[in-house]
Structure 1
């Protein structure tokens, strides 16, 4: 993500709200905290937000009503519910509104971070207005057709190779974190998915070997950076 992501957070537990604001800001997000649904909706109408995290049980306007109103104004806005309840009926109601995911309290903050980045990356890759062709050194990469071409010679990439390469291209000359790729593509950030990602990165480096100006640098324990 090349710009700061603005998150609207609605949590009536002030202690938890402040802890989440501090955690998310340390992760590089800009966060605006609201304590009730009505004030949050006014803030949503008047501000610009890329992502919403809503408690379900809120004063003045509950999370379901708030999410529904937000989706009317912006059907594409990603939303995660925080809830102390794990009833199937509640989850079905949220998914019908268009909520992207649920996290049941108490929860691990890293789990929230991985879910946010996975949803944002899926959203970014699926946007019809996003780029699908990229110039990388002497190579032309066509994401939609899964092809990599240099000097008239074309290589067909696998779907996973293409998706990983698009992540790198969208963040060219900037570090993209391993967990962002892993959670968005594999759906998890574990040892085996990590090893698989390393294999795909090695393949991509080999494909780019005809142009020595192109590098995919590994930043240990952080991520990768594509440069040309």
Structure 2
């Protein structure tokens, strides 16, 4: 069974190291340590997808932990954040609560309290994510069906109905979520387009790299970065990894 991956965002190196060792003792997998927003985003853009983030409320630099958590709530809403803080003031906790954090741990922390806070956060986040996925899927499947009914026969022949409420228009080269176009970059759209040219079939990473960069593939790291950003804009299971041999887009 795969270990739970936890990203540590803490600017005090001694505390960060102690957290890392404690997480390992508790059976978790620390998947990165970042002292600020810049390093955090670099880790995430390199394809690391944590199951939970431990975030210091007061990070040094222009962006605080609370501000970073708010940004991540928009771009990666499925990942729970648990705050680390030496400040128990009501005003601070109230401000942090606006990020919909899944827990708070006071420094210095006890190992048992850390463990309990992480497990409660993971359980609650799993419940929330499953509920949101079901609601979004139902809502957008309905929108897609309505959209399909409104299309004439000629238009239907140029569209591909995908899972989770998505529809791809081959002629316009637009991905719809329900009846709304999904805002994608040129490179992200090239991945969708190429996968939709072989709907339901496995496509290798090399083929996708060629589709994006033509004769000058940029390499694994660059591809993972584009794919990471794309997956944060669509349903997490719309593009599946086929046993590390390639990728497939899921049909309705």
- TM-score, length-normalised on structure 2? 0.48
The aligned counterpart of 1:55 is 56
Which structure has greater helix proportion?
Answer: 2
Indicate if the aligned counterparts of 2:12 and 2:35 stay in contact, CA closer than 8 A.
yes
Structure 2 partner of 1:37: 37
Give the number of the structure whose residues are more often strand, by fraction: 1
The equivalent residue for 1:87 is 89
- State the match for 2:185 in structure 1: none
**Displacement of 1:41:** 2.5
1:45–1:95 Cα change, 3 Å: farther
In the TM superposition, what is the alpha-carbon distance from 1:111 to its structure 2 partner? 0.3
Task: Quote the Cα distance in structure 2 between the aligned partners of 1:16 and 1:125.
Answer: 30
- 1:16-27 → structure 2 map (5 Å cutoff): 16-27=15-26
Any stretches of 5+ residues in structure 1 without a counterpart? 131-228
1:125 CA displacement = 4.3
CA deviations on 1:158-184 (whole Å, 9 max, x unpaired) are: xxxxxxxxxxxxxxxxxxxxxxxxxxx
C-alpha distance in structure 2 between counterparts of 1:20 and 1:53, whole Å? 9
Conservation of the 8 A alpha-carbon contact between 1:37 and 1:59: no
Question: What residue is the counterpart of 2:142 in the other structure?
Answer: none
Q: Distance in 2 between matches of 1:69 and 1:42?
A: 14
CA distances 1:163-214 after superposition (whole Å, capped 9, x unpaired):
xxxxxxxxxxxxxxxxxxxxxxxxxxxxxxxxxxxxxxxxxxxxxxxxxxxx
1:131-184 CA-to-partner distances (Å, cap 9, x unmatched) read xxxxxxxxxxxxxxxxxxxxxxxxxxxxxxxxxxxxxxxxxxxxxxxxxxxxxx
Gaps of 5+ in 2: 135-252
User: How far apart, in 2, do the equivalents of 1:44 and 1:70 lie?
Assistant: 10
What does 1:1-228 correspond to in 2, within 5 Å? 2-31=1-30, 32-46=32-46, 47-60=48-61, 61-126=63-128, 127-128=130-131
| Pairs aligned (count) | 129
Contact 2:5/2:29, CA 8 A, preserved across alignment: yes
Distance 1:124 1:68 in 2: 19
Q: 1:98 to 1:29 in 2, by over 3 A?
A: same
Structure 2 Cα separation of the partners of residues 44 and 62 of structure 1:
18
Kindly report the root-mean-square deviation, in angstroms, between the aligned alpha carbons of the 2 structures: 1.8
